[in-house]
Amino acid sequence: MRRIVYLDNAATTKLSKHAKNAMLPYLEDSYGNPSSVYSFAGDAKNAVEDSRKKIANAVGARPEEIFFTSGGTESDNWAIVSAAELKKEKGKHIITSAIEHPAVMSTLEHLEKKGYEVTYLNVDGYGRISLDGLRKAIRDDTILITIMTANNEIGTIMPVPEIGTVAKENNILFHTDAVQAVGHVRVDVNEMNADMVSFSGHKFGAAKGVGALYVKRGLRLPPLIYGGGQERGRRSGTENVAGIVSMGAALEDITARLPLTNVMRLRDRLIDGVLKNIPRTRLTGDPVNRLPGIASFVFEAVEGESMLLMLDQYGICASSGSACSSGSLDPSHVLLAIGLAHEEAHGSLRFSLSEDNTDGDIDLVIEKLPGIIEKLRRMSPLWNEGK
């Protein structure tokens, strides 16, 4: 098989060996329904509860505060829609940032159509909201603040504990989409001062299609999904037992190895190598407070999609926030929000690393990318050599 250099771990990760081994029995012999009463099903039920404990442990929560879902998207939808429903008597104003994931953005657009009002806080050039701006946006009818822990395109880590403190002082619910942070940096729900925190297994080595929502004890968040009453009536549907087991195993395993110093070292090698070898290139996102695995750039006068196709010829998998990748012609809302012009935003490229990457992977990108950019620039009408 052709060598694949996988640098798109913010899109999804490989199932870790640890997670795979843990989940296999639940794909084979232990297939009982956790809700059944006979002892054969007890094994599945215990496995689900064991995973809940591991996840709670990893993020400083109590097991009864962890609810399993089908992934980050469902967790975001549930937190936002149900918090809006719960607090609608108090008001219909929600505050978020301009750089949230579509799972949050589209949910808020849905609520806007139902009469809720949303304030989208601007971010600075690094993708950070200002706490002052947040305080000023708060109104008497503000019921929810939803701001991500770390951005998936540019890797910026938000000042979440401080945001949570502002929310608490003003008696406003605080949800954070921590999908890119959990399993990558240390996450503690108490330090975050959060009422709800979204997770997704496949972003840290677990199976796809499983996630969780932390719901702080005492918050009676209504369900989004109704049915047989699983997850103590809050999220019905027969549990994805194998997926849930993989998530507990993956998170326990990786949490023990945080901080991911080798991933950070490789990321910094990649950033240095790209900036040093390719002129008229910028790093996007916060240079200091950034996710350990994300190296994101914009290259003048090149188009993201073309870079991806040329990298693909060397087996290098990366991602671009530019046109087409999402089937739309608009550049990423994140890149526009950090102040890039449309043309600049089209030249974006994101590499996202995992513990599986090696120095050899980084060497290959640093070796091949300058030539790719040079070739594309020579063909570009936007490229002005002498500038």
Ligand X SMILES: *Cc1c(COP(=O)(O)O)cnc(C)c1O
Contact pick of 142, 200, 246, 284 for ligand X (by CB under 6 A): 200
Cβ atoms 328, 360 nearer than 8 A: no
**Nearest in space to 334 (alpha carbons), one of 152, 189, 187, 211:** 152
Contact window for ligand X (CB under 6 A) among 16-24, 122-130, 197-205, 251-259: 197-205
Per rule CB under 6 A, is residue 244 in the interface with ligand X? no
Nearer to ligand X, 100 or 252 (CB): 100
Contact pick of 73, 97, 107, 319 for ligand X (by CB under 6 A): 73
Nearest residue to ligand X, by Cβ distance, number only: 72
Least distance from ligand X to the Cβ atom of residue 315, Å: 23
Per rule CB under 6 A, is residue 352 in the interface with ligand X? no
Per rule CB under 6 A, is residue 19 in the interface with ligand X? no
Nearer to ligand X, 76 or 361 (CB): 76
The strand pairing partners of 118, in sequence order, are 94
Q: Where are the alpha helices (DSSP H) in 4-71?
A: 17-27, 39-59
Burial class (CB in 10 A: 0-12, 13-18, 19+), 89: exposed
Active site residue 324: yes
* Collapsed DSSP state (helix, strand, coil) of residue 313: coil
Least distance from ligand X to the Cβ atom of residue 16, Å: 16
Contact window for ligand X (CB under 6 A) among 109-117, 139-147, 177-185, 373-381: 177-185
Per rule CB under 6 A, is residue 166 in the interface with ligand X? no
Residue type, 333: H
Least distance from ligand X to the Cβ atom of residue 152, Å: 4
Least distance from ligand X to the Cβ atom of residue 139, Å: 26
* Collapsed DSSP state (helix, strand, coil) of residue 109: helix
CA neighbours closer than 13 Å in the CB half-sphere of residue 263: 22
Per rule CB under 6 A, is residue 72 in the interface with ligand X? yes
Per rule CB under 6 A, is residue 93 in the interface with ligand X? no
Contact pick of 9, 96, 152, 230 for ligand X (by CB under 6 A): 152
Contact window for ligand X (CB under 6 A) among 176-184, 219-227, 292-300, 369-377: 176-184
Nearer to ligand X, 52 or 203 (CB): 203
CA neighbours closer than 13 Å in the CB half-sphere of residue 54: 24
- Let me know how long the chain is: 387
Per rule CB under 6 A, is residue 320 in the interface with ligand X? no
Helix (H) / strand (E) containing 253: helix 241-255
* Collapsed DSSP state (helix, strand, coil) of residue 145: strand
Least distance from ligand X to the Cβ atom of residue 151, Å: 7
Nearer to ligand X, 70 or 306 (CB): 70
Cα–Cα distance, 271 to 353 (Å, whole number): 12
> Total residues at the site for ligand X (CB under 6 A)?
15
**3-state helix/strand/coil string of 301-369:** CCCHHHHHHHHHCCCEECECCCCCCCCCCCCCHHHHHCCCCHHHHHCEEEEECCCCCCHHHHHHHHHHH
For the segment 267-296, give every residue that binds ligand X (CB under 6 A).
none
Catalytic residue chosen out of the listed positions 309, 324, 341, 379? 324
Cis omega (within 30 of 0) for bond into 259: yes
Lookup: tokens for 354: 């995992």
Cβ atoms 176, 149 nearer than 8 A: yes
Per rule CB under 6 A, is residue 211 in the interface with ligand X? yes
User: Interface with ligand X by CB under 6 A: which residues?
Assistant: 71-73, 76, 101, 103, 148, 152, 177, 179-180, 200, 202-203, 211
Q: What is the set of active-site residues?
A: 324
